[in-house]
Structure 1
Amino acid sequence: MNVIASKAQLRASFLRWALFMVPLVLLIGFAAGQLGGPNTAWFAGLEKPAIYPPPAAFGIVWTILFTLIGLSLAMVASAWGAPGRVMALVVFAVHFLGTQAWSAVFFGMQDMLGGLMVLGYGIATLLIALALIWRVRRGAAMLLLPYLAWLCFAAVLNYQFMIANPDGGQSGGDGAATRVQL
């Protein structure tokens, strides 16, 4: 027997998924941030590009973006029976987990080119995920557009760091550089 869910049941399903997805995305983002951060002598010694925002902006922006990502995923996950639902979630998961390597690569390994490559991967795979998510829930795809914009900005910023620091920041005057190999 086919039974269509009521609006209340659909809302309840979305809320359950949101209560799971938002904290999960925030937790993954927080854990990835622990693999490397800007509080190193190497990063402090880098020439900062003119477009580099105040450091406090990053925590605020990422918290908002991770919340939007969690809500978007909850919209897709609660779309039971929608064609392509599982594929959209899997492709986004592969994208998201891959992009979380950026902190470890850029800050931990102090590899600006590697960081730019991670962001290139992130933008390309997010575009694929967006196309799949759009087919399931257009609103969910729209919630991810600020994230795409931020990844593009991050790639430009990463590139500007490379231009401003052609030596990779390794020839600082005081020799205070730490390189971590993962």
Structure 2
Amino acid sequence: MSENANWYVVHTYSGHENKVKANIEKIVENRGMEDVILEVSVPTEEVTEVKNGKKKTRQKKIFPGYVIVKMFMTDESWYIVRNTRGVTGFVGPGSKPIPLTNEEVRKMGIEKKILVIDIEINDSIRVISGPFETFVGHVEDINMERQSLKVLISMFGRETPVELEFSQVEKI
């Protein structure tokens, strides 16, 4: 077993993603394998649609027909996931699953690291990375959900609003 669990992509029957997720979670719980199969995810995004003049918000699957599983790859964990009702197989050549790279996991937004900052509105900050590095400004708005700040930076003699991630700034 490797020291870190990896994310694997599992192909399912279309429309059965949530059932597969529930089935895997139930099997893991029944067999006491919470330390081998750590997390099962069906990536979704919130979509707002306007129909008949009414706004409706719903969850839309980002990758229909796929479930993402974080697990340690063992013969037993492979067997359990592969033989879950609704699963057609792992993504990878033949029967050998290929884990997602850290870059792929980050881009897909599966594993979001929540940063906590001690910055408040009207605080002065310095930009420490990105195209506005070394600029100084003050915080106008904080968006915890998107992990970003709206900062007014003095550029070319006028205040310019810029959106920055928490990791790009430090408090002065």
Q: How high is the TM-score relative to the length of structure 1?
A: 0.24
Task: Select the structure that is richer in helix.
Answer: 1
Structure showing greater Rg: 2
Q: How high is the TM-score relative to the length of structure 2?
A: 0.25
Task: Select the structure that is richer in strand.
Answer: 2
Higher relative contact order (CA 8 A, sep 6+): 1
